[in-house]
Amino acid sequence: MRKNSSFFHLFLSLALLLGLTKPDPDPLQDYCIADNKNPQSFYINGAPCIDPKLAVSSHFTTSVLSKPGNTKDNPFGFNVTLTNTVNLPGLNTLGLSMARVDIASNGLVPPHLHPRASEVTICLQGLLLVGFVDTMNRVFTQQLKPGDSFVFPKSLVHFLYNYDSKAPAVALSGLNSQNPGAQIVSSFTSKSPIPIEILIKGFEMNDLDVAEIRKNLGG
């Protein structure tokens, strides 16, 4: 009986572990360089590939992460540059992407989540306070200096704050999806506004508060 139950626990842990760490589906060939030239009249899950005979080294390289993003026009003072199938066509179907995160002094990448990816981030420059919230509402935070890394589990709300009031910060992230997606946790600025009654009840505030927050966030 005891043996059975420990076997069951092992089986369960393995199943959970495998299920939770899956990146995008495995490619069926060496690579599938995204075909960005021929506009498609149909939609598939990912991007179609070019003829593998036409593959060249430049399909597998990009310099987009070499340049700092402009943080001045962003109300929170951050700018994320992400590799994708357009600026790095060779990453199509490989189940990964990278992001350069520039954060102005005391700037914030506000609480957000990636529905399709876990993220590992390394602080390259500056001082960061990073953290995430788990589904039991526990918060895990850490201060990072250059060279320190932190992981954000898939789909959990997380943030990056530059707690240095004088210098900008730079972080580099790896994500285990070619298209991680990002959702900022702000119910106030969706494209077609969430009904005001929902915000008033959901956040226990009045209509003036909702209007002010919407205005501050530019929504």
Which residues contact ligand NAG (rule: CB under 6 A)?
A: 69-70, 73-74, 79
- Least Å from the CB of residue 199 to ligand NAG: 24
- Least Å from the CB of residue 73 to ligand NAG: 4
| Between 23 and 69, CB nearer to ligand NAG | 69
Q: Is 158 annotated as a binding residue?
A: yes
Nearest to 174 by CA among 122, 112, 115, 120: 120
3-state secondary structure 131-179: EEECCCCCEEEEEECCCCEEEECCCCCEEEEECCCCCCEEEEEEECCCC
Q: Is 9 annotated as a binding residue?
A: no
- Least Å from the CB of residue 71 to ligand NAG: 7
| Between 79 and 84, CB nearer to ligand NAG | 79
Backbone angles phi, psi at 6, to 5 degrees: -70, -35
| Between 31 and 159, CB nearer to ligand NAG | 159
Angle at 181 between CA 176 and CA 187, to 5 degrees: 140
- Least Å from the CB of residue 89 to ligand NAG: 20
| Between 82 and 123, CB nearer to ligand NAG | 82
Amino acid at 72: K
Q: Is 119 annotated as a binding residue?
A: yes
What H or E segment, with its residue span, contains residue 78?
Answer: strand 78-82
CA distances from 74 to 33, 110, 194 (A): 33, 11, 23
Binding-site sequence positions for Mn(2+): 112, 114, 119, 158
